A and B are shown apart, each in its own frame.
Chain A
Amino acid sequence: MADIVLDIRGLNKSFGALKATENISLDLRPGEIHALIGPNGAGKSTLIHQIAGTLKPDSGDISFLGQPVGHLGVAARARLGLGRSFQVSSLAPEFSALRNVMLAVQSRQSSSFRFFRPVKKDPTLVDPAMAALERVGLAGRAGVAAAELSHGERRQLEIAIALALGSRAFLLDEPMAGMGPEGSRQLTEFLDGLRSEAPILLVEHDMDAVFALADRISVLVYGRIIASGTVEEIRNDPEVRRAYLGDSE
């Protein structure tokens, strides 16, 4: 189907005897937030890594915007518009927040092989980067080195980078982790608006955020998807309650 943005079919990945990903199929449609939940060690990050291209699956197909991407590297997938944030923030620590975003802007313009014009005062880089920082509420910290940003600010910065990249889909790996309640609330609000721009595959432990945001939820346990459906369906699924949510709720 042409209107499926990200389509994953029959993905498998084993580390020795451990099946981290077992026959996983899921998709991401325009305008939706598809949440991926599951206990620690269920293989959520492993799955994100395979979609982004940092890990190679043993078998299965991934296509993005109707095009198979299984053979492409991380950089090529990012250029197609697959933007991601990391479970553990991954930034250029010595660069300021602004320069981290500028890197995404220059990649979007395919201009990394320019040797002469200094980047620092180049409005074609600075302006779009600043706009992305403003959207996530980080404009006031533009000049601060990434290493000196707070945990939550680094999360915001990663999202700003994905925005500046002009992403056609977002893979967000626990964007709320380590944020205070106020930060989580703001980010929830922000992601709510973001879905109309590009769909989001959201890995998250913060259940309030997941239930508030998700159009669909898939539950991953021991490398397998045990249930997939709307928020209501997942809430009432007996297997999910047993495996993950806990019957006491």
Chain B
Amino acid sequence: MAISRETVINLVLALLLLAIPFAAIQFGNPFYVTLATRMAILGLAAVGLNIALGLGGLVSFGHAAFFGVGGYAAGILASHAFSAQPLDFGILSVPGTTLMPIIWLVALGAGGLLAAGIGVISLRTSGVYFIMITLAFAQMTFYFAISWPAYGGEDGLSIIVRNSFPGVNTMVPLNYFLICYAVLMVALLVSAFIRDSRFGAALQAARQNEVRVASVGIAPFRIRLVAFVISGMITALAGALYADLNRFVSPSMLSWHMSGEFIVLIILGGVGRLYGPVAGAMLYVMFEFLLGGFTERWQLFLGLALLGVVLFARGGMLGLLAGKARHG
């Protein structure tokens, strides 16, 4: 079996990301471990968005909502665990937890529910209207978080000790990186399965020609809604990991800057490509770090890079390295 150039590049990217923290420790620069963790988590969030945006052509400008909800799931559960006060839902009261696997499940569930709600309404529109309505929903969650004093409001919520994972000391930066990296790899696997499956075929066809999909008897709305929910769930999971990385969650995770950042990552890396979000996140964090060291205005250079990609390399970094995407 011939291995495509894209597969080789994907493998190189995966190994490169894995090698960064080990090299960092080797050369006595443990700070870089955190950078690599940021790459993995932002990459994960963008892998989520890429299912909607890349495969489905659904340009969501509101994925910060899911990212933030995942973050707040981690923050709120942890804060209740520390104060030993259960969450009170009226008829039901649930204890907080600091166990990551449980927090992740809650984040996935909350992200999925929110995405279902937003998707049911937003997916009735398309094009610019879809972009605007997803933005509007995300801004609603943003202002909701700001005006909700119970969990810090504008100031955000600290996670006093990073949440725990059975058998692993998560406070060791390398350990936490490995957890995030493993989650990213699982998400990439899920993403690859979706892309190649019957569901993925219908989703990608709906992006290319909605009328064609309906004419063969597949309702595009249902396909897109399920894709949007999966997409929101993965981004919410990234949000939970991000909150634990910073040990802090604030409304800024829900702001439209965040949504824009995810879109930028995907465009930089390659829209609809499996490793596009990973490549994009690695480039973005590297940019932020290297140029951020020289000037506060590093985003000017990011803007120039983005302009270059949009004008000269539509397929992003992966398009540049691996050539045009192919559908068998």
Please tell me if the beta carbons of B199 and A75 are within 8 angstroms of each other in the complex: no
Given contacts A92-B205, A96-B328, A103-B205, contact A113 B215 (CB under 8 A): no
Whole-angstrom distance between the Cβ of B124 and the nearest chain A Cβ: 13
Give the contacts of A79-130 with B (CB-CB under 8 A).
79, 84, 86, 90-96, 99-100, 102-104, 106-108, 111-120, 125
Chain B residue nearest to A111 in the complex (CB): B198
Whole-angstrom distance between the Cβ of A28 and the nearest chain B Cβ: 18
Q: Is B196 an interface residue (CB 8 A)?
A: yes
Q: Which residues of B contact A75 (CB under 8 A)?
A: 213-215, 217-220
| A93 to B212 alpha-carbon distance, docked (Å) | 10
Q: Is A149 an interface residue (CB 8 A)?
A: no
Q: Is A191 an interface residue (CB 8 A)?
A: no
Q: Which residue of A95, A117, A118 is within 8 Å of B205 (Cβ)?
A: A95
Q: Which residues of A contact B197 (CB under 8 A)?
A: 114-119
Q: Is B18 an interface residue (CB 8 A)?
A: no
Q: Which residues of A contact B194 (CB under 8 A)?
A: 115
| A112 to B201 alpha-carbon distance, docked (Å) | 8
Given contacts A99-B327, A103-B205, contact A115 B199 (CB under 8 A): yes
Give the contacts of B185-216 with A (CB-CB under 8 A).
193-194, 196-202, 204-205, 208-209, 211-216
| A165 to B213 alpha-carbon distance, docked (Å) | 12
Please tell me if the beta carbons of B217 and A79 are within 8 angstroms of each other in the complex: yes
| A95 to B216 alpha-carbon distance, docked (Å) | 15
Given contacts A95-B327, A115-B199, A120-B196, contact A103 B211 (CB under 8 A): no
Q: Which residues of B contact A92 (CB under 8 A)?
A: 204-205, 208-209, 212-213
Q: Is B223 an interface residue (CB 8 A)?
A: yes
Q: Which residues of A contact B215 (CB under 8 A)?
A: 52, 74-75, 78, 84, 86, 90
| A224 to B223 alpha-carbon distance, docked (Å) | 39
Q: Which residues of A contact B328 (CB under 8 A)?
A: 96, 99, 120, 143
Chain A residue nearest to B202 in the complex (CB): A112
Q: Is A145 an interface residue (CB 8 A)?
A: yes
Q: Is A35 an interface residue (CB 8 A)?
A: no
Q: Which residues of B contact A73 (CB under 8 A)?
A: 214, 219
Chain B residue nearest to A165 in the complex (CB): B216
Q: Which residues of B contact A125 (CB under 8 A)?
A: 198
Whole-angstrom distance between the Cβ of B224 and the nearest chain A Cβ: 12
Q: Which residues of A contact B218 (CB under 8 A)?
A: 75, 103, 106-107, 112
What is the number of contacts between chain A and chain B, taking CB atoms within 8 Å? 110
Given contacts A93-B208, A96-B327, A116-B193, contact A103 B201 (CB under 8 A): yes
Q: Is A54 an interface residue (CB 8 A)?
A: yes
- Looking at chain B's contact residues, the main secondary structure is helix
Interface size of A as a range: 35 or more
Q: Which residue of B202, B208, B209, B212 is within 8 Å of A106 (Cβ)?
A: B202
Q: Which residues of B contact A117 (CB under 8 A)?
A: 197-198
Chain B residue nearest to A120 in the complex (CB): B328
| A112 to B212 alpha-carbon distance, docked (Å) | 15
Give the contacts of A140-191 with B (CB-CB under 8 A).
143, 145, 161, 165
Q: Which of B214, B215, B223, B327 has the most CB of A within 10 A?
A: B215
Chain A residue nearest to B328 in the complex (CB): A120
Interface residues of A (CB under 8 A from B): 52, 54, 73-76, 78-79, 84, 86, 90-96, 99-100, 102-104, 106-108, 111-120, 125, 143, 145, 161, 165
30 A–B contact pairs at CB < 8 A? A54-B211, A75-B213, A75-B215, A75-B218, A79-B217, A90-B215, A92-B204, A92-B208, A92-B212, A95-B201, A99-B327, A102-B201, A103-B205, A103-B212, A103-B218, A104-B217, A107-B217, A108-B217, A111-B198, A112-B198, A112-B218, A112-B223, A114-B197, A115-B199, A117-B197, A117-B198, A118-B196, A119-B198, A125-B198, A165-B216
Interface residues of B (CB under 8 A from A): 193-194, 196-202, 204-205, 208-209, 211-220, 223, 226, 327-328
